[in-house]
Structure 1
């Protein structure tokens, strides 16, 4: 019988986002996906950073709470909140709302708070961090914004723009310590957490 103590912990991504799933696949590690059932409404008085950090941890803990057995599992929760001039920006969900978002952000700097949590089901240890990306949008006319939205339909993205795709044409500058954070899952922060949790990335223990 194989020695279970030598197997790496099970890895679970607590997310419904296909973008986060595609990012995690870059690490070439096996993982499962479980969608957490939580209320993602911001709380009164919360800063964008507080909202993102809380929801990232709540997602991870919610999935961990539903696991059966005593197998050590590392659960990844993540949440992204965009903000400018004190306004929080969520996923638009429609063309009209996306256009309104882009109109409000043009010519402005927008902060994207990409929070991540790695929750250890055995120790109940939760590593959390908020990775901030500063994005400056170009001052483009309505016709250009409308054309972009019809070409890429980014209605499931906070901020209504896919920086990894055609949405880069809307941006004047991006400042971040982690280029994957803006897409939705900060991989530099995550790999740091996985190594701290003794997960064998690249064969390391």
Structure 2
């Protein structure tokens, strides 16, 4: 097979184990690379715009290292009434987030970008997941956080685990988006970039 007909390598521009596990469902060989991107929100930037900007920035950063590969970048921002909630990283911050989310409806914006520097391909899309948290008391929050320690998750809860017990509803047209990578949109973008799926 000539080099021009060889399928391009696939690189996930993320160190997230959640994204790695999700992408492996597509049964495509891929490698991972850490994107070196400043994730600080810009002044006045909405959670949706932040997620999309960071997904594109991560894909472009890794594509600069792997110019012949198809690169996936992704980012998720929790949105509580227009305010972005990041990863809590520590227990006290997670408690604060879950108290704020108690009894509230909020959105998670999960953006995915696919970039191939060699072909000039660059597209992105965002899945929006609406969640409704049931009213939570401090004892429930404490029990949950001690059981699951979701400090590396935007919004301090893992819907794919015990965090599902904190919710009254999840609404999305891309079911894996809440975990960190919207696979329906990812597959669509990979097909557009020239990969064969399934």
Q: TM-score, normalised by structure 2?
A: 0.97
Match of residue 180, structure 1, among 176, 181, 185: 176
User: How far has the Cα of 1:9 moved from its partner?
Assistant: 1.0
Instruction: Tell me the distance in 2 between the aligned counterparts of 1:46 and 1:58.
Output: 15
Q: Could you give the per-residue CA deviations for residues 148-184 of structure 1, whole angstroms, max 9, x where no partner exists?
A: 0000000000000000000000010000000100000
**Match in the other structure for 1:157:** 153
Instruction: Tell me the distance in 1 between the aligned counterparts of 2:79 and 2:24.
Output: 28
Q: TM-score, normalised by structure 1?
A: 0.94
**Match in the other structure for 1:64:** 63
**Match in the other structure for 2:186:** 190
User: How far has the Cα of 1:125 moved from its partner?
Assistant: 2.1
User: How far has the Cα of 1:120 moved from its partner?
Assistant: 1.3
Q: Could you give the per-residue CA deviations for residues 99-118 of structure 1, whole angstroms, max 9, x where no partner exists?
A: 11000001001110000000
Please state whether the residue corresponding to 1:182 is helix, strand or coil: helix
The equivalences for 1:40-59 within 5 A come to 40-59=39-58
Instruction: Tell me the distance in 1 between the aligned counterparts of 2:191 and 2:74.
Output: 18
Give the paired residue count: 198
Indicate yes or no: 2:33 matched with 1:37. Answer: no
Give the conservation status (yes or no) of the 8 Å contact 2:46–2:83: no
RMSD between aligned residues: 1.0
Match of residue 135, structure 1, among 131, 136, 145: 131
Q: Which runs of 5+ in 1 are unaligned?
A: none
Higher deviation after alignment, 191-200 or 19-28: 191-200
Please state whether the residue corresponding to 1:201 is helix, strand or coil: coil
Q: Which runs of 5+ in 2 are unaligned?
A: none
Match of residue 167, structure 2, among 164, 171, 175: 171
Instruction: Tell me the distance in 2 between the aligned counterparts of 1:58 and 1:140.
Output: 36
Please state whether the residue corresponding to 1:140 is helix, strand or coil: coil
Indicate yes or no: 2:111 matched with 1:115. Answer: yes
